[in-house]
Chain A
Amino acid sequence: MAVLRSAPLRHLLRGLVSAVIVVAALFPIFWGLMTSLKPARDIVTFPPSLLPATVTLEHYATIFKAGALGFLLNSLLVSAGTVALCIGLGALAAYGLARFEFPGKRAVLVAIIAVMSIPVASLLIPTYTLIAEIGLVNTHVGLILVYSAYQLPIVIWILAAYYQSLPIELEWSAMMDGYSRFQALWKVVLPLSRPGLIAAGLFVVVFAWNDFVVAVTLLSSEDTRTLPIGIYNFLGFYGREWGPLLAASMVSTIPLLVIFVVLQRYFMAGMTNGSVKG
């Protein structure tokens, strides 16, 4: 290090910055978590108290009684399906983009940007109309297809960048060993890209897990309902129910957080090579 001044001062500064980061990022969520543990009557008191005077789990009981477990499973199914489809199609398409020069390539690249440019809300009604036309209203399949279509562009982009960073010689040698191009992709490129696939998958899962607008438009019955709809439902006609609302959102955050923590290593590494030449 060229500029190593006083070590204790650096430590102090680092600690200070860390503290600011923690407070800024965490405070609203901490406030939400504490609120979710307060009895209903204590929630909107003024002046607000940060910590609950009495801790209760009643709101957590409420949400599970309201079917949160089923919604959670539906969300898992839809998110998993979306990730699978996005990664499957994205891995293929990205390969096409990364390894070939072909007529229309520019158009495909423009289309990727274009799809990301569309405000989702404006597509809701047309999408509903089309999904209804093919009989997929109120099905998880319909939702998975729509989510995948929205998220595929970013997946392709990230993966194409990743593939480009891999030495093409590996594929050549695999093909000389008698692999077809598909087999080379499947057996050589994809295993090497695992971190990239995980990274792309994580972005997709955050969207699919938290989406409300598309889900509430396409789904109508309780047995297909995903967790965000369950959360929004606590914005009741007779008033907001902060307790269950926040309890549900805390619960819904946990799976994503676990995924991030567990896969953090892959996640970082996944983007690593990917962005070198992207």
Chain B
Amino acid sequence: MRTKSKLRLAVLAMAGALLAPVAALAQTVTMWTFLNPASETPRDRALKQIIDKFETANPGIKIKVESQVWFTLAEKFVMAHRSRSAPDIGWVNGENMGLLVNSGVAEDLGPLITSKWTPALRQDLVLPQAYEWVKTGGKQVAVPIMALSIVLFYRKDLMREVGIDPAGIKTWDDLAAAAAKMQRSNGPNVERWGVGMHLSTDKTTMSFGANALAAAQGGKLFGDKCSALLANENGVRALNMQADLIRKHKVASQESFAYTLDDVIEQFIAGKVALASSGNGRFGNVMEKATWNGKELGMLPWPSLDGKKPGPQIMSGWFASISKDSKQKEAAAKFVAYMTGPDGMEIWAEPGGQVPLFKSVFDKPVFKDAKYDPLRQLSQMWADAEVWLPAECNAARTFVDLNTATQRVVLGNVDPMAALREAEAASAGRQ
């Protein structure tokens, strides 16, 4: 005890000397986000405009943004509660929603925000499921700011070149055939792969196989209590499809097993792969950086194993939540409501480049311009095939389990069903 109090004294003395001055104004609402309003990207500018407009309309409230490294943001928000140093508002990405839902650190936004909605506003939602998705035990733990899904990018120029109509790609076999046609080799060296896949065990996003499996199971990857549904006939088909792109069709590099999403997208940008999947949020980035004509970038609905219906758009996004510990929940909620309401959404769409989550916003004449076509296509794809995997389940890691299974089948010659059983067990072990 003595040591501790001594330590505390020493520590406090030093702290006094070095502590960064923190202004503690009564109505300053602190928000953790991965964006940086001081920066210049479309989304950063959108956030700045939203804050400026909100502060003008609400002179009593100041929004203080503390930018965070995106991949530790959700964890830090949850951890900060253990130490009562959480910000009022925290952004959480869909992949880490399990953390927020299971940790119980978020204030119920029902009474603060969503219950105040008019029926008309409720009718106006583009993605009503997004709000249901982040409800647990009747509590609204977050509200969506921007929605994202994993989409399939392709190059219109290459499709034209080989005479394939992208609309005709319905099955994974169609896709493999198209990929084979777009592949270019120079002797033993492949100059351009048909498809780019990221099958590493990095905490990653959905692979082709996961999408195919979810499609074959009616959009489901999890049963009760987050038990993953992998080891079955559909799982074997999906896994073999994915493995065959490498070992049979040879349209994907074996190094897919080492690639992360970032690696693959960079190869797509470099023209090293003809097709690649990624979060739709990277559309603008790819278009801008592509070493080919960026205007030729297109999005393809996902194929499926049977070709009857397109594969699912597995949804994610960024969500806002308010800390249970916040001392100014009303003010924070006021800002969150603005940021995620129709006014905010209009700014997220322009200049932010995001699909606005209210139909009435998107119907405004300004958004009829051709430059919003990709957003329009995206919202159509969502309407056709939107799937939200249960937030409380650690889906991102189950995707990794499926990748591991694929690696074991291709590199270790393990029987697919056995590999999938292992994956299912691994997935169950962490729920």
Contacts of B281 in A (CB 8 A): 237-238
Question: A38: shortest Cβ distance to chain B, in Å?
Answer: 12
**Interface pair A44/B269, CB less than 8 Å apart:** yes
Question: B297: shortest Cβ distance to chain A, in Å?
Answer: 14
Q: CB < 8 Å: which of B19, B69, B80, B271 contacts A46?
A: B271
Chain A, 112-135, CB within 8 A of any chain B CB:
125, 128-129, 131-135
**Bound form: Cα–Cα A224–B85 in Å:** 15
Question: A176: shortest Cβ distance to chain B, in Å?
Answer: 35
**Interface pair B15/A141, CB less than 8 Å apart:** yes
**Interface pair B72/A216, CB less than 8 Å apart:** yes
Contacts of A141 in B (CB 8 A): 11, 14-15, 17-19
Question: A242: shortest Cβ distance to chain B, in Å?
Answer: 8
**Interface pair B79/A238, CB less than 8 Å apart:** no
**Interface pair B85/A132, CB less than 8 Å apart:** yes
Interface stretch, picked from A179-187, A201-209, A227-235, A266-274, is A227-235
**Interface pair B82/A220, CB less than 8 Å apart:** no
**Interface pair B20/A220, CB less than 8 Å apart:** no
**Interface pair A239/B262, CB less than 8 Å apart:** yes
Q: Is B114 an interface residue (CB 8 A)?
A: no
Chain B, 31-68, CB within 8 A of any chain A CB:
32, 34, 36, 39, 41, 66-68
How many residues of chain A get a CB closer than 8 Å to chain B's CBs? 39
Q: Is A11 an interface residue (CB 8 A)?
A: no
Contacts of B66 in A (CB 8 A): 220-222
Q: Is B8 an interface residue (CB 8 A)?
A: yes
Question: B45: shortest Cβ distance to chain A, in Å?
Answer: 14
Q: CB < 8 Å: which of B67, B83, B271 contacts A128?
A: B83
**Interface pair B270/A46, CB less than 8 Å apart:** yes
Q: Is A40 an interface residue (CB 8 A)?
A: yes
**Interface pair B34/A239, CB less than 8 Å apart:** no
Contacts of A136 in B (CB 8 A): 11, 15
**Bound form: Cα–Cα A197–B308 in Å:** 72
Q: Is A56 an interface residue (CB 8 A)?
A: no
Q: Is A145 an interface residue (CB 8 A)?
A: yes
Listed by A's residue number, 11 A-B pairs whose Cβ atoms lie within 8 Å are A44-B289, A133-B83, A137-B83, A220-B66, A220-B68, A220-B80, A220-B87, A224-B20, A237-B93, A237-B281, A240-B266
Which 4 residue pairs are nearest across A and B when measured between Cβ atoms? A132-B83, A237-B70, A46-B270, A44-B270
Given contacts A216-B69, A237-B281, A239-B285, 12 further A-B contacts (CB under 8 A): A41-B289, A45-B270, A46-B270, A66-B36, A128-B82, A132-B82, A138-B20, A138-B85, A220-B85, A220-B87, A233-B69, A240-B266
